[in-house]
Amino acid sequence: MKYELVAGFETHVELATNTKIFCSCTTAFGGEPNTHCCPICIGLPGTLPKLNKRVVEYAIKAGLATNCEIAEISKMDRKNYCYPDLPKAYQISQYDMPLCQHGYIELSNGRKIRILRIHIEEDAGKLVHSRGSTMVDYNRGGVPLIEIVSEPDIRSVEEAREYVEKLQLIMRYIGVSDCKMQEGSMRCDVNISVRPEGSDKLGTRTEIKNMNSISFIAKAMEYEFSRQVDLIESGEKVIQETLRYDDVTNTTSGMRGKEDANDYRYFRDPDLVTIHVPRERVEEIASALPELPAQKLRRYVDELGLPEADALLLTKYRKVAEYYEQAIEGTKNPKTAANFIIGQLFRSVETESDKEAWNINVSADNLNALIKLIDGGKIRMNLAKSTLDKMLETGKAPNELLSDSDMAGLDDTALEELCRQAVAANERAVADYKSGKEKAIKAIVGFVMKNSKGKADAALAEEKIKAIIG
């Protein structure tokens, strides 16, 4: 029997506010343990929380960017559970009246992964296990989160990967979070079940908790799918439980029974007022949203004429896309800038985080100036490429690296002479060309380009060489 994977995600995204959700403590990552917290963070008796307005605005942005409906009235609730990382013994979250509902993320295959809800809540502290002891760091406690809960619409590991990547990209584009999974500012709980292909009945689900790597999510899902199928085919039952993933052994193991909502005894938080978001405010936030990645991708393909593969690479990083758009202002061919960025400039940055930061040594204005020299016929592509390498090394503008003679080009007489020298100096390539090896002409053209220091027109040089060879 064939089985189908069914998965849904609960994705926690730390919001990029300067202060925590209910107090004025910093949200900065790191710091000595328990130095970024106060009596409100750790829930000392008599303290009162006050909701950070920016948290609500960021959550609305996230909801709008994922096609959600924004509730005019919502409230905060207490989610009760006893665990050392939560000193109050409850987490302030949202239950039956979340801020955002009924959205979706559209995948490249056209399928829409429905978003059930996006709600705001506080993060818990962090347990640190060392040499048989457990310590608690409350610096992270009270950092504002949104939890993005999808419907169980994901049907493959590939869809799961794309869903998380698109969610991460959208949150970065709208500026609500850096979504650095390695720092815990984006974490996923993955709910998985299996069922016979063609069935519409959901199987018993398990939850893999606190995944902070897309590659580990994929591996954990593959393992858990196989584990559940093996259990079913052996006549055993899948137990509803919460699991942890071990990336060393590539296995999942049980942590505790999987809770349902009634286990948390939700009730309205009496210390916080109702959240009222007027329609006019939602419209203001919507009008201020930047162009989203999917919209930008379509514009690059449809209006700028870029291949979709190039457009995907450029829109994958917001700062790269902004850089690209500044670099093509007033230029004739948007593909030229795309080639330089995806080729030479991407090779100069080593990691994904470097591309995300995009602290490149060539300013967008300087790249724009270089491209305009190509457009104006002042320099040829070979010279432009070597000049860009120097710009990367020095940070200088192209006019600081190119002389008047570099931009003077070659007159017809000089080009003719160089082509004759190339034919004379490359007898073997000439013989190969005459014997039918068309590609041999490239070696002769290369001689011309090298000796003209990139000033020659390669296409014109090839024509002249063919005429000389006869």
The mean predicted confidence, pLDDT, of the chain is: 92
The fold adopted by the segment(s) 412-469 is Arc Repressor Mutant, subunit A (1.10.10)
Confidence of residue 259 (pLDDT cuts 50, 70, 90): low
**The predicted structure's pLDDT at residue 93:** 97
Specify the pTM: 0.84
pLDDT for the residue numbered 302: 97
The whole-angstrom separation of Cα 130 and Cα 135 is 8
C-alpha 382/C-alpha 326 separation (Å) is: 23
Tell me, what's the pLDDT at 61? 98
pLDDT tens digit sequence for 336-388: 999 999 999 999 998 888 898 999 999 999 999 999 998 888 888 888 998 99
Confidence of residue 407 (pLDDT cuts 50, 70, 90): low
Least-confidence region, from 85-89, 173-177, 303-307 = 85-89
- Give the domain ranges of the chain: 3-285, 291-401, 412-469
Q: Give the pLDDT score at 408.
A: 58
Residue 261: the pLDDT is 67
Q: Is the pLDDT of residue 429 over 70?
A: yes
Residue 281 has pLDDT above 90, yes or no: yes
pLDDT digits (tens, 9 = 90+) for 67-126: 999 999 999 999 998 888 999 999 999 999 999 999 999 999 999 999 999 999 999 999
pLDDT digits (tens, 9 = 90+) for 144-171: 999 999 999 999 999 999 999 999 999 9
